Amino acid sequence: MSAAIESHRPLHYGPRRHIAAIRERLDALNFDRFEVVPQAPCLGGEVRGVDLSKPMDAALAADIERALVEYKVLFFRDQKISQADHAAFAAQFGELEVHPFLPEGASPEVIRFAKDEEVVGVENNWHSDVSWRQVPSLGSVLRAHEVPGVGGDTLWTDMEAVYDGLSDEIKKEIDGRVAIHDFVHTFGLAMSEEDRAEKRKEFPPAHHPLVRTHPVSGRKCLYVNTIFTSHIDGLPDDESRDLLARLYQEVEIPEYQVRFRWEKDSVAFWDNRSTQHYASSDYWPRERVMERITIIGDTPR
pLDDT digits (tens, 9 = 90+) for 230-271: 999 999 999 999 999 999 999 999 999 999 999 999 999 999
At 40, the amino acid letter reads A
**How many domains is the chain partitioned into structurally?**
1
DSSP string, 68-120: HHHHSEEEE-S----HHHHHHHHHTTSPBP--SSSPB-SSTTEEEEEESSSS-
CA dist 12 and 152 (Å) reads 30
Q: Which residues contact 1 (CB under 8 A, 6 or more apart)?
A: none
Residue 263 lies in a domain: yes
Mean pLDDT of 93-115: 88
Q: Is residue 301 part of a domain?
A: no
pLDDT value, residue 8? 55
**What's residue 200's pLDDT?**
86
Per-residue pLDDT at 3 exceeds 90: no
Q: Is residue 216 part of a domain?
A: yes
Catalytic residues: 127, 129, 277, 292
Lowest mean pLDDT among 4-13, 28-37, 116-125, 292-301: 4-13
Q: Is residue 100 within 8 Å of residue 276, measured between CB atoms?
A: no
Per-residue pLDDT of 30-82, as tens digits, reads: 999 999 999 999 999 999 999 999 999 999 999 999 999 999 999 999 999 99
d(C-alpha 223, C-alpha 208), whole Å: 8
The residue type of 19 is I
Which CATH number goes with the domain that contains 169? 3.60.130.10
d(CA 68, CA 46): 11
Could you list the residue range(s) of the whole structural domain that residue 186 is in? 3-296
The per-residue pLDDT for 1 is: 37
Tell me the residue type at 110.
V
Mean pLDDT calculated for residue range 182-188? 87
What is the amino acid identity at position 47?
V
Q: Establish if 98 belongs to a structural domain.
A: yes
Beta bridge partners of 48: 35
Q: Tally Cβ neighbours within 10 Å of residue 53.
A: 13
Mean pLDDT of the chain: 93
Whether 143 is covered by a domain: the verdict is yes
Answer yes or no: is pLDDT of 4 > 60. Answer: no
pLDDT at 5 over 80: no
